């Protein structure tokens, strides 16, 4: 196969970039290693900025026709008291809410939109095996798709394949990791008809619970643990784990034992922050978690990846005009995005440090001071950066062929 751009990874960043390039007349191939998109995804929350991008693409009305839930705030509850709330409904209309929706459903929608253009190809079940190189320049990728080995020659390879990026490993780009003190245990359970589960973190002496509604019938539950302690938790049995959660939220006492029956229902997210040393090479670009890993705090993963895709679209189109995907032309993408991503990572680190306080005196100080900080201009600026991005980004619709 021959193409202009091959994108590895059909996550939010890869699918948005594929759509933007396809609509701009660029010959694009999107590869996804799994056969189906309905595997486990953790990122169901989309920041208000993403809605703005969809509006600029002319897709928002169709996105909102799919099953979704609007989120007007994200609450941090400390021993029954609201420590602070990130209020999206205070943002300027019309993008004054976040969105929770099935990520597989959204990804399939974006792929279907891109497939309307004859210059776009989607290959699932495609496993990246080797980068094609001429000297230091990437010229394509070799993949295995079911029983076939396929060579795809391209001007640009984009690694959009997540925190364990194969493209990043094949390109021998190093990643600098900053470990956190926590891991998350995640599981889904049916939402009780008798109560609501707003997007929130609940902190008590016995532990820390996270609720993320996934539509009207399912809620995703997160439990924060000290890093590396999951085997110890499993060894004490599922009933002991149930009791830990119920101690933080007694409202779970009736429903949880009915639905959380085995640790096989749980998955563990290794919380880490990391940044690749390089995001671009001659003929190569990394976006989303392949380039930078954000912690789960404040739900930034999807937003950062899609912001990357919007900026990458503009940089790629300018490179095509120069008929070159050389490092100096692609470097502009990294120069724009790296400072903004680092700013979000710094905010997330402060949040993690704040939530992870265990000293009794500091806990009292947190409960007294943070609600006051939540009313300041500094807090409003932080909220705006999380909800609307740390820099001004706009979809370059002038490239669209229709």
Domain membership flag for residue 59 = yes
Cα radius of gyration rounded to whole Å, the chain? 22
| One domain, residues 145 and 234 | no
Residue 78 lies in a domain: no
Helix (H) or strand (E) holding 27: none
Mark which of 245, 271, 297 sits at the end of a domain: 271
Per the CB < 8 A criterion, the answer to whether 63 and 109 are in contact is yes
Whether 291 and 346 map to the same domain: the answer is: yes
- pLDDT tier at 325 (50, 70, 90 boundaries)? very high
Asked if residue 206 and residue 262 are part of one domain, the reply reads: yes
Of 269, 289, 270, 272, whose CA–CA distance to 167 is shortest?
289
Are 264 and 300 contained in the same domain?
A: no
Do 154 and 200 have their domain in common? Answer: no
315 inside domain: yes
Structural domain boundaries enclosing 321: 2-67+98-174+277-399
Q: Are residues 306 and 244 in the same domain?
A: no
Contact between 14 and 122 (Cβ < 8 Å): no
Q: Which residues of 287-307 are buried (b: 16+ CB within 10 A; e: fewer)?
A: bbbbbbbbbbbbbbbbbbbbb
Measure Cα distances from 114 to 60, 122, 149, 316, 393 in Å: 15, 9, 25, 17, 22
Report the interhelical angle of 377-388 vs 327-355 (nearest 10°). 130
Residue 76: inside a domain? no
392 and 295 in a common domain: yes
**Residues in CB range of 59: below 8 A, 6 or more apart:** 113
**Average model confidence (pLDDT) across the chain:** 90
**For residue 33, is it within any domain?**
yes
Give the three-state DSSP class for 224: strand
Token digits of residue 390: 């740390």
pLDDT at 174: 96
Q: Is residue 80 part of a domain?
A: no
Q: Are residues 252 and 358 in the same domain?
A: no
Distance CA 324, CA 315 (A): 11
pLDDT, one tens digit per residue, over 140-171 is 999 999 899 999 999 999 999 999 999 999 99
3-state helix, strand, coil split of the chain in percent (to 5) is 40, 30, 30
Give the CATH number, domain containing residue 284.
3.50.50.60
Q: List the one residue out of 100, 102, 105 whose CA is nearest residue 50.
A: 100
- Would you place residue 371 in the very low, low, confident or very high pLDDT band (cuts 50, 70, 90)? low
Which residues, other chains included, contact 148 with Cβ-Cβ below 8 Å and sequence gap of 6+? none
The string of pLDDT tens digits covering residues 60-94 is: 999 999 989 899 988 888 877 777 788 899 999 99
Domain termination residue (choose one: 271, 303, 333): 271
Residue where one domain finishes, among candidates 252, 271, 290: 271
Residues 300 and 158 in one domain: yes
Burial class (CB within 10 angstroms; exposed 0-12, middle 13-18, buried 19+) of 383: buried
Find the mean pLDDT for residues 225-235: 91
Q: Examine residue 90 and state whether it is found in any structural domain, yes or no.
A: no
Task: Based on the fold, state whether residues 201 and 331 are members of the same structural domain.
Answer: no
Q: What is the CATH number of the domain that holds 184?
A: 3.30.9.100
| 93 inside domain | no
159 & 201 share domain: no
Residue 358 has pLDDT above 70, yes or no: no
> Is residue 261 located within the same domain as residue 343?
no
Residue 368: predicted pLDDT: 66
The total number of structural domains in the chain stands at 2
Query: How many Å apart are CA 229 and CA 121, to the nearest integer?
Result: 43
Q: What is the pLDDT of residue 202?
A: 85
């Amino acid at each position: 196969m021959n193409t202009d751009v091959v994108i590895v990874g059909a996550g939010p960043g890869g699918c948005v970039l594929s759509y933007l390039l396809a609509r701009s007349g660029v010959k694009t191939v999107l590869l996804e290693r799994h056969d189906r998109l309905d595997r486990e995804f953790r990122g169901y929350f989309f920041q208000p900025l993403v809605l703005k991008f969809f509006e600029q693409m002319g897709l928002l009305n169709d996105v909102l026709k799919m099953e979704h839930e609007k989120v007007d705030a994200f609450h941090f509850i400390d021993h029954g008291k609201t420590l602070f709330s990130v209020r999206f409904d205070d943002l300027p209309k019309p993008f004054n809410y976040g969105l929770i929706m099935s990520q597989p459903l959204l990804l399939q929608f974006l792929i279907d939109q891109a497939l309307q253009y004859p210059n776009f190809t989607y290959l699932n079940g495609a496993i990246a095996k080797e980068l094609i190189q001429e000297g230091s320049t990437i010229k394509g990728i070799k993949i295995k798709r079911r029983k076939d080995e396929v060579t795809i020659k391209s001007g640009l390879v984009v690694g959009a394949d997540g925190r364990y990026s194969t493209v990043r490993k094949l390109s021998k780009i190093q990643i600098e990791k900053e470990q956190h003190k926590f891991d998350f245990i995640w599981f889904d359970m049916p939402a009780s008809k008798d109560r609501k589960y707003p997007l929130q973190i609940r902190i008590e002496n016995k532990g820390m619970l996270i609720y993320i509604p996934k539509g009207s019938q399912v809620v995703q539950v997160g439990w924060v643990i000290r890093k590396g302690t999951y085997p110890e938790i499993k060894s004490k049995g599922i009933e002991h784990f149930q009791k830990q959660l119920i101690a933080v939220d007694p409202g779970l006492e009736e429903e949880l034992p009915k639905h959380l029956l085995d640790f096989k229902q749980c998955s563990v997210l290794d919380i880490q922050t990391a940044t690749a040393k390089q995001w671009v090479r001659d003929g190569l670009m990394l976006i989303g978690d392949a380039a930078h890993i954000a912690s789960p705090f404040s739900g930034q993963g999807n937003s950062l990846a899609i912001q990357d895709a919007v900026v990458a679209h503009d940089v790629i189109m300018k490179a095509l005009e120069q008929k070159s995907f050389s490092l100096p032309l692609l470097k502009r993408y990294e120069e724009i995005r790296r400072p903004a991503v680092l700013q979000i990572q710094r905010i997330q680190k402060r949040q993690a440090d704040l939530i992870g306080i265990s000293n009794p005196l500091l806990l009292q100080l947190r409960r007294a001071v943070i609600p006051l900080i939540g009313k300041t201009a500094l807090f409003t600026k932080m909220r705006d950066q999380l909800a609307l991005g740390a820099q001004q980004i706009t979809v370059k619709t002038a490239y669209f062929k229709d």
